[in-house]
Each structure stands twice: as structure tokens, then as C-alpha cells.
Amino acid sequence: MNRNKGHPVSMNDFEVSVMADLTFPLIITYQLFWFSDNITQFLAKERFYQASNGIIIGSLDDFTYERTEMEGAERVYLLGFGSNKSSNCYKEMKILCMSEEEKLTLHMQISSAIHELVDKAQNCKDGSSYMVWDIK
């Protein structure tokens, strides 16, 4: 949602700008274009943020998605947002899925987790995220 209502939209109006490409079968491609220092500073203090759907978002200068199994429990990490200046944070992240249903479910989970992170970093209680999504 845009903070600057009634004015032309600029990058500074959003905490997160993400491209999501779902056009290829079984593949989701994401790219962070820009995000504010608020996300980076929030994750620097908190280290990790766990979304309500279980995805754990951590600070890293690279943008990656990882599933790990520890002691019989699976954990899903979305790592990035460690820097909005490093070139690594802008690289594309591709996720290969086993089915189209899994692809759509995973996309909804990642979208929801990033929205929650932005709301938490902004200390929003009404669910009004400062984000823009470019979806192909």
C-alpha cells in the first residue's frame, strides 16, 4: 500500500518492491528490487522473524529460500533483506516446485510472510503494508 496517497508513486513510498514471475511451469522467480533500511534495521535487532505460516525470515545480503530438517522438524527460511545496497540482494531467486498447486501455495506463503515482516517492521497493527508487487 502506498503511503503517499494522491501523489505519483516513487520507490521511497514502499518498504519492499518484489518481482514475482509465475509464468514458467513449476518455477517461481522472485527478485527484490528495493527495500528500505527499516527492514534491514528491524532484522538486525531481531535476527529472525517467524511469520504466522512458519516461514522464518532472516537477514542475509543474498536472497535465498531454504528448507532444512532438524530433529525431525522441517523449517523454511527466506533469507535476504540484510542489505539494500549489496548487488547480491538484487539477484533473482528461483524456486522449483513439485506441482502447480505447490507453486501457488508457496507463492501465497512467501507473499504473506513478507507482508507480515513489513507490517512488523513498520509496527502496523491494521495490516496496511508498504509494499508493491510486480507479478507476471
pLDDT, tens digit (0-9, with 9 covering 90-100), for 110-129: 999 998 998 888 875 555 55
What distance separates the 2 farthest-apart alpha carbons in the chain? 52
**Which ranges in 31-98 belong to alpha helices (H)?**
37-46
Exposed e or buried b for every residue in 63-73, given b needs 16+ CB within 10 A? Answer: bebeeeeeeee
Task: Give the model confidence (pLDDT) of 25-54 as tens digits.
Answer: 999 999 987 777 888 889 889 889 999 999
What is the percent of the chain where pLDDT is above 70? 80
Place of cell 515482516: 117
- 83 is written with which cell numbers? 542489505
Alpha carbon distance 112, 93 (integer Å)? 17
Q: Which amino acid is at 61?
A: D
Q: Which residues are CB-contacts of 7 (< 8 A; sequence separation ≥ 6)?
A: none
pTM as predicted: 0.80
Alpha carbon distance 79, 30 (integer Å)? 12
